[in-house]
Amino acid sequence: MRAHFVLSEIGVGLRRNLTMTFAVIVSVALSLSLLGGSLLTNQQVNSMKDFWYDRVEVSIFLCNENDAQTDPACSRGAVTEDQKEQLVAELEELELVEDVFYESADEAYEHYQTQQADSPIAAVVTPDQMQESYRVKLTDPTRYDVVSSAFAGREGVQSVQDQRSTLENLFDLLNGVNYAALGLMALMLIVALLLIVNTVRVSAFSRRRETGIMRLVGASSLYIQLPFILEAAIAGLLGALFACVLIVGVKYFAINNFLAEQIPLINFIGWDAVLSVLPLVLVVGALMPSLAAFFALRKYLRV
């Protein structure tokens, strides 16, 4: 195989279809950055899940005097000391329960005041409107329903709430966005592949004289097809490189220098995660266009 010959053929081909090559590069770059981006978002969501699910608790809110009048669950009056003792004893018997914290109405009031300091409601809320609660930490946060079914509807218990369900809404939203990005990626990739098929067709047509002679003098089909396939691979690889630059850029500028400072609560994915995605992006970027070119050649180039 004479590398010089193949390389010069590729150069000629890429230059001859400059606009088409450019379109291929851009669409591959966009679709692959979406691919890398959604893979990383997925990792981000998973690491956030791990982080937050370790910290979520089940809250058992107890009835206060106020609830006794308004909430049907508390129709039998505010919670008594006996009921509370009973509750704690039962909670501690459960293997699932790792820890139980008690929060008094006054503590709840203070928390509320600090968290909602700017809210106009905070000014009119009084400590006796707040509820006492037990904060239960579970060894396995997914088995929230065990606690819920055991304690919801008991005398003195107003409601059992799982923080996890609140977080789940957020994660569902993030995952939804992620799937949308993947869908968009698939569309962009299809566009890129169709562009490549078209490029190969034009390219094969404009070089039919050369390929015809090559066929007649007995060049192997690999030798005839290789320039076309490498052309597609190079365009795809260039696109993939742009995608890598884009991903690294987003990580550096948008995450490290902006989001991480704005939202210190969230533990953003690190460089190792980003770097582990780049090889995949490059491989997909080189391989998919080559395959598309290969199948296009079977149709448009007689060998």
Partner 1 sequence: MIRFDNVSKTYPRQNAPALSNVSLEVERGEFVFLVGSSGSGKSTFLRLLLREERASHGSVHVLGKDLGRLSNWKIPQMRRQLGTVFQDFRLLPNKTVGENVAFALEVIGRPRGQIRKTVPEVLELVGLGGKEERMPGELSGGEQQRVAIARAFVNRPMLLIADEPTGNLDPQTSVGIMKLLDRINRTGTTVVMATHDAQIVDQMRKRVIELERGLLVRDQARGVYGYQH
Q: Using CA atoms, how far apart are residues 270 and 189, in angstroms rounded to an integer? A: 27
- Kindly indicate which of the ranges 1-9, 126-134, 234-242, 281-289 contains the residues binding partner 1, using the contact rule CB under 8 A: 1-9
Residue 138 pairs in a beta bridge with: 97
Minimum CB distance to partner 1 smaller for 6 or for 259 = 6
- Closest separation between CB of residue 214 and partner 1, Å? 5
> Per CB under 8 A, which region of 52-60, 95-103, 124-132, 205-213 contacts partner 1?
205-213
What is the 3-state secondary structure of 127-149? Answer: HHHCCCEEEEEECCHHHHHHHHH
Assess contact for 61 and 161: CB atoms under 8 A. yes
Site string for partner 1, 211-230 (x = CB under 8 A): -xxxxxxxxxx-xx------
Closest distance between partner 1 and the C-beta of residue 231, in Å?
17
Structure tokens, 251: 């990580």
Q: How far is the CB of 9 from partner 1 (least distance, A)?
A: 10
Q: Of 41-49, 122-130, 192-200, 209-217, which segment contacts partner 1 by CB under 8 A?
A: 209-217
DSSP 63: P
> Does 105 sit near partner 1 (CB under 8 A)?
no
CA distance 285 to 283: 5
Q: Label residue 153 left, alpha or beta by phi (over 0 means left) and psi (-120 to 50 means alpha).
A: left
Q: How many beta carbons lie within 10 A of that of residue 10, not counting itself?
A: 19
Asked if 179 touches partner 1 (CB under 8 A), the answer is no
Chain positions 284 to 303 lying near partner 1, rule: CB under 8 A, are none
What residues line the site for partner 1 (CB under 8 A)?
1-2, 5, 209-210, 212-221, 223-224
